[in-house]
């Protein structure tokens, strides 16, 4: 299923020719997978994997270097009482705090992800958005989380959305450094329909996304199981068609270990186990980490823990 995308009509024709998504059926499938019972050894494995997939995130106007340093410390040593706890995958911050994070995380293997392109709204001229990206990359970001232009998408201007992603991908490549990985945030809550989520997923992948991401976390609904199901189907089908593997990151609204494990089941039974790896699946979250650690501790100690026994960042 190779596709040439020379004119607007081609891209539109292709995206609108993708099979539709029946909402009721998709939600029923996600609900059925959410009813899987993951216990004992499977649960322990899943908890550790989930921790290692977290993009620990702070994206607040009130972020300071101190806050970012504390978050990085948490990411490096999630549970001071238990050195066997895995470290997180990445720390996700605004571009002007990348440098601080980078310094804290030197030699840890934990990546620094930066939002860019006038996050979260994406409403700015292209040159401003690209400057945002170049700045983040120059500051040392290993990964860039961009937002698509939802307005353009909903207006049917797929070409514009596509070309912006291509331009951002180019801007991620700064001379003399490894190319920053590009995550493309679809903001599924604004796209509203699963058909749109499927189309936006394919559009982003055709334009070169390394990861597709559900949400900015700044609006509700953010990540949901059904939306992530659609995106996992999309990356599976894309690899079948084009031979290239793209990652998936649900972000926002994932608060409990139970939620996280449900996402892993979804990955396992949809895209498959090739995606069960931090290189191909991330969880965008902040408070999730402590719930995962609490569950982890409960399984080891055989009793329930309380918040006093886990650190704040």
Partner 1 sequence: MAKFEYAPAPESRSVVSIAESYGLFIDGKFTGTVDGRTFKTISPATEEVLAEVTEAGPADVDRAVQAARKAYEQTWSRMPGRDRAKYLFRIARVVQERSRELAVLESLDNGKPIRESRDVDIPLVAAHFFYHAGWADKLEFAGYGPDPRPLGVAGQVIPWNFPMLMLAWKIAPALACGNTVVLKPAETTPLTALAFAEICQQADLPPGVVNIVTGAGDTGRTLVEHPGVDKVAFTGSTEVGKQIARSCAISHKKNTLELGGKAANIVFEDAPIDQAVEGIVNGIFFNQGHVCCAGSRLLVQESVYDEVLASLRRRLRTLRLGDPLDKNTDVGAINSAAQLARIRELSDIGEAEGAQRWSPPCELPVRGFWFPPTIFTGVSQAHRIAREEIFGPVLSVLTFRTPGEAVEKANNTPYGLSAGVWTEKGSLILWMASQLRAGVVWANTFNRFDPASPFGGYKESGYGREGGRHGLEAYLDA
Q: Give the binding site for partner 1 (CB under 8 A).
A: 19-22, 24-26, 28-29, 35-43, 45-46, 233, 264-265, 268-269, 273, 276
Minimum gap (Å) between residue 237 Cβ and partner 1: 9
Phi-psi region of 19 (alpha: psi -120 to 50; beta: other; left: phi over 0): beta
Minimum gap (Å) between residue 15 Cβ and partner 1: 15
Beta bridge partners of 56: 91, 285
Q: Map 255-274 to HEC letters.
A: CCHHHHHHHHHHHHHCCCHH
Minimum gap (Å) between residue 273 Cβ and partner 1: 4
Task: Look at residues 184, 210, 209, 188 and name the one whose alpha carbon lies nearest to residue 198.
Answer: 188
Minimum gap (Å) between residue 251 Cβ and partner 1: 22
Question: Between residues 49 and 204, which has the closer beta carbon with respect to partner 1?
Answer: 49
Minimum gap (Å) between residue 11 Cβ and partner 1: 20
Beta bridge partners of 251: 284
Q: Cite the active site residues.
A: 145, 213, 249
Helix 158-171 crosses helix 194-206 at what angle (to 10 degrees)?
A: 40
CA 188 to chain centre: 12
Question: Between residues 50 and 167, which has the closer beta carbon with respect to partner 1?
Answer: 50
**Measured between alpha carbons, how far is 281 from 242 in angstroms, rounded to an integer?**
19
> Do 292 and 278 touch, CB atoms closer than 8 A?
no
Q: What 3-state class would DSSP assign to 91?
A: strand
Question: Between residues 127 and 273, which has the closer beta carbon with respect to partner 1?
Answer: 273
Question: Between residues 164 and 237, which has the closer beta carbon with respect to partner 1?
Answer: 237
Question: Between residues 190 and 233, which has the closer beta carbon with respect to partner 1?
Answer: 233
């Amino acid at each position: 299923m190779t596709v040439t995308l020379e004119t607007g009509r081609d891209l539109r024709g292709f995206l609108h020719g993708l099979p539709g998504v029946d909402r009721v059926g998709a939600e029923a499938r996600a609900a059925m997978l959410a009813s899987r019972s993951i216990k004992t050894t499977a649960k322990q494995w899943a908890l550790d994997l989930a921790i290692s997939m977290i993009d620990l995130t702070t994206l607040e106007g009130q972020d300071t270097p101190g806050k970012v340093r504390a978050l990085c410390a948490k990411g490096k040593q999630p549970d001071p009482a238990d050195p066997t706890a895995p470290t997180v995958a990445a720390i996700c911050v605004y571009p002007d705090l990348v440098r601080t994070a980078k310094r804290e995380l030197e030699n840890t293997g934990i990546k620094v992800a930066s939002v860019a392109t006038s996050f979260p709204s994406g409403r700015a001229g292209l040159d401003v958005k690209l400057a945002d990206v170049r700045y983040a990359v120059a500051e040392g970001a290993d990964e860039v989380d961009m937002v698509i232009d939802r307005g353009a998408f909903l207006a049917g201007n797929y070409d514009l959305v596509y070309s912006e992603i291509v331009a951002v991908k180019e801007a991620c490549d700064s001379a003399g450094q490894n190319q920053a990985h590009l995550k493309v945030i679809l903001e599924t809550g604004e796209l509203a329909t699963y058909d749109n989520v499927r189309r936006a997923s394919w559009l982003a992948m055709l334009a070169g996304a390394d990861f597709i991401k559900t949400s900015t976390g700044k609006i509700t609904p953010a990540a949901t199981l059904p939306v992530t199901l659609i995106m996992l189907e999309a990356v599976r089908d894309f690899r079948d068609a084009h031979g290239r593997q793209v990652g998936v990151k649900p972000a926002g609204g994932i608060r409990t270990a139970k939620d996280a494990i449900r996402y892993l089941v979804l990955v396992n039974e949809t895209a498959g186990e090739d995606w069960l790896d931090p290189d191909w699946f991330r969880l965008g979250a902040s408070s999730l980490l402590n719930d995962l650690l609490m569950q982890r501790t409960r399984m080891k100690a055989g009793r329930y823990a309380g918040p006093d026994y886990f650190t704040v960042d």
